[in-house]
Structure 1
């Protein structure tokens, strides 16, 4: 793995170098003391990951990563930012795949970067990774976005009602989970639910995030509202289908986000043109993975279309999400899997449940 670290403070770069040596990282590492020096280095040295400090004189981290995104979209981009730099972090969010709190412990840094590279196993194609690497956010439903803006402009809106709106839209949900799971905001355990993410970030921060963001249009041919309704229905079905003993909130988020690749028809078409070895589910999982969402969500999204292969002995997270999405999409599930785990007899009653939920959605 080839990693370029960029910081204008020599002692920071020296500290990173010592940490990597102590942790015995077998990486090809380069260092640059400015954005300009980093760009010059990248001209003749192709990095897998660029890790940049946010606040630097001249060209700051956000501007550097913007140029990296434009010139080398396959390169994964990580920002380091101090806790007092929230406004700067928002700028970087639109061009970085992840951002880490500064100072960052060596072990946390290594774990985050290793995970980024592991995600490449989901999408081996460099062409597809270049297309996905240029994406920092997904287009939300205009109707939900405007409703959320209205709520945030009212000082009386609490986190509960804001979360209830955000968790209706896959694009907004992916953004808030990406933000909440960065080490910049996360305190300990990964955050798997939109509600918990909103609680962690708080109304004031979300106000700044949403009101300064752009609601850009979806790609031609994408029915954002239809996707939103299907995804929301699948997430609601998870709560009805899930047995005890599984992480329901993780499954709810996975079901909500499983079809986000439908917002990227050009990427999906490119994958099909390459032979279809990379599925839409893998495309979605890769994007969520490089954004730092919890791995249980990422791998459930990646595997939900093949439950018999990945979860043959029990009706667990993958099976629940698989069944919920099939019901929401009015498609056939893997009945061989449902038979094997003893759940096939439940299908007729689940069909009744989905009709009730559809009726409630339309009411």
Structure 2
């Protein structure tokens, strides 16, 4: 029985491999590491042994890293694929990005490389369903709202496109946000640390790279609502935007660090990306899940997903974001945003509460049923006074009309006395 993670390093420069061996020597008791100088040897090794993670240079003679990782993706979709590379041009990034889960720039510190590998291994451990592992590791890109794609493309075609208009348009779509974060952390930019802020990423990318990103349509799967009529991508995004702001504002009110506040915002934007994966990849089966929720009001979408897929959107989303190199706090928060009793850090706690608050108070349509919030508040040790302060702070600091403005005091009091509303929503935001 295999107990050690098997990791394969590929680089055509022997001195780089020697340096990696020295850097990672202290992990030799927990990792089974292999070092080869070309893609052919890497494929031969894969034929003999399963590989958990492959870390390959991009620029290599003969079979380069992009071709190797593409082959690995086809032969072993469950293998996590990481590019460890120096400065590369934009064409190489675009050609390789479909086969790469995340990029690491070299040279890099031993501690940083170990952290990235351990993060990827933790992400792999989130899923135990082999079919879902193979599905998620095959994902090239997340769906993009057609209207967002069209608006961004139209602006980019103008003689003098507005970076402000493009940034505002892109920020509306969770799938595009994820792709931008993935791209900004590639070797093309040579940044020493991970960028996890949407605003900073858009500013750093610039118009030319935005144009390459948007026009490279093969990076994205355009979501077509006609394939799943009961699933609304627009409503899902609106929910994600609200949760992002609610989590950020609660963290701000609690005097959390700037880092935690930033992580809350990012986790809120991305917390339901697993629904995009599941709905677009399994449209018929996901329709069954939505129908199950609609016909059984006591069932949540997460419960229906678990029944039909043996996995939930929270785990799928966390796995994908972990593969793409998001911070461990964000990955953990996404994975546990429904499992409040397992929350063990501030980002996860704020996200879980924000998600429940939005589901409970924001009524999307006539058939919308509120979900229970009381249990989560009490389990998170939130009292009525603290919760009232949160709602007041959110309303005062929301940009525009707050969705929580009309909550009467009696409704808040009811949350801490008797649970009367417990039916889950049948909306895709649940």
Q: Do Structure 1 and Structure 2 share a fold, with TM-score over 0.5? A: yes
Q: Is residue 122 from structure 1 mapped to residue 126 from structure 2 by the alignment?
A: yes
- Counterpart of 2:116 in structure 1 is 112
- Counterpart of 2:322 in structure 1 is 289
- Counterpart of 1:218 in structure 2 is 223
- Counterpart of 1:298 in structure 2 is 331
TM (norm. structure 2) is 0.72
Q: What CA deviation, in whole Å up to 9, does each residue of 1:173-195 have, x standing for no partner? A: 11112223456647455433311
After the TM superposition, which of the residue ranges 16-25 and 280-289 deviates more from structure 2? 16-25
Over 3 Å counting, the alpha-carbon distance change for 1:7 and 1:267 in structure 2 is farther
SS state at 1:130 partner? helix
Structure with larger Rg: 2
Over 3 Å counting, the alpha-carbon distance change for 1:249 and 1:155 in structure 2 is farther
Q: Is residue 280 from structure 1 mapped to residue 298 from structure 2 by the alignment?
A: no
Q: Is the 8 A contact 2:245 2:268 kept in 1?
A: no
Measure, in 2, the Cα distance between the counterparts of 1:252 and 1:307.
Answer: 18
- Counterpart of 1:231 in structure 2 is 237
Measure, in 2, the Cα distance between the counterparts of 1:240 and 1:258.
Answer: 13
Aligned residue among 266, 272, 276 for 1:259 = 272
Q: Is residue 21 from structure 1 mapped to residue 62 from structure 2 by the alignment?
A: no
Aligned residue among 3, 6, 11 for 1:2 = 6
Give the gaps of 5 or more residues in structure 2.
Answer: 287-303, 396-400, 407-430
Q: What CA deviation, in whole Å up to 9, does each residue of 1:137-179 have, x standing for no partner? A: 1121121112112223335334433221111111101111222
Aligned residue among 25, 47, 50 for 2:54 = 50
Matches within 5 A, 1:151-230: 151-154=155-158, 156-182=160-186, 185=189, 187=191, 190-214=194-218, 215-218=220-223, 221-222=227-228, 226-230=232-236
Give the gaps of 5 or more residues in structure 1.
Answer: 358-363
Over 3 Å counting, the alpha-carbon distance change for 1:223 and 1:261 in structure 2 is farther
Measure, in 2, the Cα distance between the counterparts of 1:233 and 1:86.
Answer: 34
Aligned residue among 371, 389, 400 for 1:332 = 371
TM (norm. structure 1) is 0.85
After the TM superposition, which of the residue ranges 138-147 and 18-27 deviates more from structure 2? 18-27
Q: Is the 8 A contact 2:246 2:354 kept in 1?
A: no
SS state at 2:221 partner? coil
